[in-house]
Amino acid sequence: MRDITVDLLNELFTYDKETGKLYWKAKAGNVKVGSEAGSDNGRGYLRAGINKKQHVVHRIIFLMHKGYYPEVLDHIDGNTHNNRLENLRPASRSQNQHNRKIGKNNTTGYKGVSYHQRTNKFSATICHNYKYIWLGRYNTPEEADKVVRAAREELHGAFANHGDQ
């Protein structure tokens, strides 16, 4: 996005702060003035073309309003289509990972909790600074979840996501 300026973005788009959507202000290629900017890229993010390059809409919005382009932008609520400015925050890659939803292959229903078949107990783990920390084994998934949640609050702070969003 080095070739894109705030002035250019303000020429091309209007931003609806209530919905977090971008609309084309100027005709660009085959888009119509007033139409919503961006289409899903197949990975859950909206992308719009500027100067023959695709850019994610949430980064366009952030640059338009904050004037800079952070390394990583985090959607606070985890909804990649919610591009309201108050739902976007700069983050490190590690912080962005802390805010991930519960994994699709999770079988316990609790983030950071897995079943340990050999002991018939539930293991609790958390990742911090790209390192996994083992928090012990517990008789129930609820007990393990309680420990993981406390560790997540302490270590991940504002980026803690317990998976129930």
- Which of these ranges, 19-28, 111-120, 128-137, has the smallest mean pLDDT? 19-28
> In this structure, are residues 91 and 73 in contact, taking their beta carbons and an 8 Å threshold?
yes
Residue 2's pLDDT band (cuts 50, 70, 90):
low
d(CA 87, CA 84) in angstroms, rounded, equals 5
The answer to whether residue 23 scores a pLDDT higher than 80 is yes
- Domain boundaries for CATH 3.90.75.20 within the chain: 6-91
pTM of the entire predicted model:
0.84
Please name the CATH architecture into which domain 102-159 falls: 2-Layer Sandwich (3.30)
d(CA 165, CA 161) in angstroms, rounded, equals 8
Domain 6-91 has CATH 3.90.75.20: yes
Per the DSSP assignment, residues forming a β-bridge with 64 are none
Task: Report pLDDT digits (tens) over 24-81.
Answer: 998 777 888 999 999 888 888 999 998 889 999 999 999 999 999 898 999 999 999 9
